[in-house]
Chains A and B, each alone.
Chain A
Amino acid sequence: MKHVIIGGSAAGMSCAETLRRLDPKCDITVISDEARPFYSRCLTSYYIAGKIGERDMLLRDPGFYEARRLNLVMGKKAVLVDPRKKAVVLDDGSEIPYDRLLLATGGRPKLPDIPGAGKRGVFTLRTWDDAVAISERAKTARKAVVVGGGLIGMKVAGALRDAGLEVRVVVASGRVLSQMLDDEAAAIARRLLEAHGFAVDTRCDVVEIEGDDEVRQVRLQDGRRVDADLVVIGKGVDPEVGLAEACGARVGRGIIVDEHLKTSVPDIYAAGDAAEAYDIAWGEPRVNAMWTAATSQGQVAAHNMAGIPTRYPGSVGMNSIDICGVPFISMGVVSPRRDRDGDGLVELARRRAGNWYRKVVLKDRVICGAVFAGVVDKAGVVLALIRARARRDDAPERILADDFTYATFMDVIDEKGRYFQEGGKRNVQRIMQGGY
């Protein structure tokens, strides 16, 4: 059996490793357009901050790939998938035949149409190479403007500040981290940022990047001009669906997959940031571009590719970020839109002194989302509740009062939790059966 994987990051590599574990004999090829071995994309901002070095970026030892007999095709781009011939065509013209194919093509930073975005000193951040270029520039730059207040924007803003630059964040929406946080938590984040010396402009945009060859200034929507010698554009990521579309696979916002992570084209699967797979909290398919979802989708796809039918239980969109030393975690439905998401939605929130904030969102009395700021311990228990889709009427109050542990909810989590079917169930029994 010849397995070919396009994409060498979280989804692609976890698929490759799982395939090898399941089938010691099959042929596995991983094609990556990046020339670097498997590294952690999520660490790029830590790299820019100078907190970690080159070695820390790599997730596997050099001998790892050989030991597992993975054929790596690096620094080459797959330009075409031919589902009739069952082959992948690379940019150098060569062809790689496949029996089963995984599209783990990831995402691509959105590039808004800002005049001057092509000048030197203007970057997006997706790859390690991007991070190297930004940190190189940051050695001499003094003033940075980050366009976009999403997760990437905030992480790169923090990193540049750690690297000693003055940082201004320009956010189009009314709050920072508008996808991840609700108004209240975003206000806490903003206060922290401003107290730590960041300039934050909301409901504002960069309309032009000025300078000769190199960026010198940016012009804001309200007419102000601010000095900048480094600009990072972080306006979100689009799923990379080009190859899927061209070979006739169904595509929505991402590559549409069924519960076995199969695309609409026979023998082609998709996983990771490019895939639109089932979301448990929303109850519908969504693109959840997260490391953890990519890893588990890669593993599930591998089982199905190896001929072991395995259902993908679905993911919950979630994220964790540290802002000026204060942790924030959010999961599932965070800011429901009443007009679209209908009745039966309840938001309950509590604020305590300092940066402590917590919210739970319920749909028909079942928890489908939560936000944590300040104290995030046990957030995973709430995630397990969301995944279990379990109704426990005392849950909101106990979560908001911080009066809960895993033991509080173990009956519902265990009974209904898809989460626990894969390996956790035995752990629960370890407590219960131990009572002899």
Chain B
Amino acid sequence: MKEVFVRLARCVGCRQCEISCALVHSESRDIHQAVWERPLPRQRVRVTREGSEYYPLRCFHCEDAPCIGACISGAMHLDEDVGTVACDTARCVGCWMCVMVCPYGSVRIHEGQKVALKCDRCPDEDEPACVRGCPTRALLVKERALVV
């Protein structure tokens, strides 16, 4: 199973991953048009600074995900084929139970659409957009078993 890993020492806090993420989730996928879309395309990864280090925080796609157990509508589910925690936004009723229980703060509210917003690990891409967009290769995809 493939997984996105972070090499903290390489992250310089440029937030290119955030831009790539928002762009790949936009309608037009063109940065010049995407900035005019309403609601604005939102990023699912957030770079945060803690002390002297930067942390690109995203959904860890937990094996035992609290957000799935808390979801009252069945929207949040495990996609067994690819091993991701996915949100079927058509079923999301906006109760924010997932926001309440995610220990990583990785599920947010999509203000424009009033549904849960989280990383989907780019199911239609060869490589997640945040990884592709990272200029220092701080983010990278590896087989889970090879690293842990």
Contacts and interface: CB of A to CB of B under 8 A. Distances in A.
Interface in A385-436: 405-408, 413, 417, 419-420, 422-424, 426-427, 429-436
Nearest to A431: B6
Interface stretch (A128-136, A259-267, A375-383): A375-383
Contact of B60 (A42, A327, A379, A427): A427
Interface stretch (A171-179, A223-231, A289-297): A289-297
B72 A40 contact: yes
A163 to B, nearest CB: 15
Chain A interface, DSSP helix/strand/loop, else mixed? helix
Given A43-B73, A380-B107, A426-B148, A407 B96 contact: no
Contacts of B70: 291-292, 295
B12 interface: no
B63 interface: yes
Contact of B8 (A295, A384, A435): A435
Contacts of B132: none
A91 interface: no
Contacts of A147: none
B60 A383 contact: no
A322 B66 CA distance: 20
Nearest to B8: A435
Interface in B63-101: 63-66, 69-70, 72-74, 91, 93-97, 99-101
Contacts of A406: 55, 57, 103-106
A434 B63 contact: no
A407 B147 contact: no
Interface residues of B, number: 43
A296 B71 CA distance: 12
A320 B97 contact: yes
B3 interface: yes
B109 A291 contact: no
Contacts of B62: 423-424, 427
B7 interface: yes
Interface in A73-90: none
Contacts of B6: 430-431, 434-435
B136 interface: no
A277 interface: no
A318 interface: yes
A383 B100 contact: yes
Given A42-B72, A407-B50, A291 B97 contact: yes
Nearest to B117: A377
Contacts of A312: none
Contacts of A433: 147-148
B34 interface: no
Contacts of A245: none
B7 A377 contact: no
Contacts of B53: 407
B124 to A, nearest CB: 23
A43 B93 contact: yes
Nearest to A375: B109
Contacts of A14: 69
A426 to B, nearest CB: 6
B48 interface: yes
A328 B11 CA distance: 34
A199 interface: no
Contact of B103 (A46, A292, A329, A381): A381
A426 B105 contact: no
A331 interface: yes
A56 interface: yes
B66 to A, nearest CB: 7
A51 interface: yes
B18 to A, nearest CB: 14
Contacts of B73: 40, 42-43, 46, 52, 56
B85 to A, nearest CB: 11
A393 B65 CA distance: 29
13 contacts: A291-B97, A329-B96, A329-B99, A329-B100, A377-B109, A380-B102, A380-B107, A407-B55, A424-B62, A424-B103, A427-B104, A431-B8, A434-B147
Given A376-B96, A405-B105, A406-B104, 15 more contacts: A40-B74, A56-B91, A318-B101, A322-B94, A380-B99, A380-B104, A381-B105, A405-B48, A405-B55, A413-B103, A417-B103, A423-B65, A427-B60, A434-B147, A435-B9
